[in-house]
Structure 1
């Protein structure tokens, strides 16, 4: 009977530990803006933004014809000089702080500011206009920009293309509705789950102690076994959690961006970058689990072996007592 009760407690402990593990993973990562910045850097988010904006500018637009095929790499170099790592880091920290305010219901909007970036692109173009002929040649080639008049006309056409492309990008994207729809109930759910699960774990430990109150060695063994099984269960679901988590997060972010700003090939490039970022976020969040789970597993093994040693010692004591001289 005690074995059955201990096994049921073991299963409950493992399931509750999984709930604690997932809740801690989600909540700890969600509140750390530095972790999000690191994930963005690791996933190549800056390059994805550069590629997206480059495609957005060079894509065929019948309303703004160009004199010749444009040099994509020249456009990309200009955008890359504007979309810096520092700008991206500031933007991510700003979005994270605003999203946190929406979650705590102290603010209604979580704004992605794009006006500063658009202005920087315009300033970069104005620098190019200071040397029209060389800039024209870098964009369209020497054949098209053979004289000053043609070069100036080509650069005017490019300015119009750039202006129209920037006009299609909003000055700001408000992610507040998406954050409000998902984050507050989700965060509340994880917080409640964490509290309930921790309470359940304490109850399981108390039950285990009550079942084996007369056998300290066996109680230690079951404590250790509960911790080891819980650790193995949590580690086994990391892979599945990554797959499910990155798909769900990626799809929601892609939908949010597509609904606000982009379409066509630039939208597909952005979607690929967002999915890479989502995969990196989930990978980084679950990678932290090793720092939490491995010590728990080590403590479990310590309890397990300590319990076995204690029981062996208790079995040997009567023999030693009988062998002792009167």
Structure 2
């Protein structure tokens, strides 16, 4: 397995986040990627390579131009108005038709979906490096007879066409899917196993049939991002039938998870994709501060083995996982489970 990793993520480190009514230390920190990288290297899973610079033209295939301009420039705009600190919204656009915002805090509220995702001086650089890792992983998959992992930070699956939140700014999985399509894939499936619904990914592909989106996650009745991820969201227009959500109830264990996963894998198998992108979040792990699911480390190995049964060229793209004591071991167990199943 090839792992694509950029150290540029390290400088994106928020001073805090507003979570459940209080300011607190950020869950999404550089140490997450460090723990995963150490696990990949300790397990000797294969080479670690750096991505080339991101082709920014690809970004417009996934995100709107005004949103991209906002992400690139907002921190400097914020500093000029508010001083040198992280940029946070305190007002939010609620769907009204309004004139475009000009003040920095208003522009933040125009594109943000939460107050948990601070924008720092290095957020744009880190997000582009993360996206470059995902895109390069897709490129390597087309040339290599082996899986590829993009060790992405910040994560991406909550980033919509013109929105950020859930620690996500650019949608890494969506960009990788677009690159696979450009390289000749006719159909791509994205299987999101993160504890939280991949709302941004769903939105981007909801009316398309060339990318199937499938997500297993804690039910939005009790879990971020709250408003999407229900089982009756199946796509629209040309995308009808190409979006599948399998929400799980609080305290769901491996047995419940695997029951949902088997159905998802059958659905993907019938679709017949040329490649699959696994949005690899391990925040469904028991003890994760953002999770209501109960998967242990051995459970992630079992999940990896199940997914390997598809026998489809695979890109793994890192998403969530916020228990620093477990994240490296859980990702390593998943990858070992996948590889072991493929060898049998």
Q: Same fold, TM exceeding 0.5?
A: no
* Structure having the larger proportion of residues in strand: 2
Q: Decide which structure has the larger Cα Rg and report it.
A: 1
Band the TM-score falls in, shorter-chain normalisation: under 0.3
User: What is the TM-score with the length of structure 1 in the denominator?
Assistant: 0.21
Which of 1 and 2 has higher RCO (CA within 8 Å, sep 6+)? 1
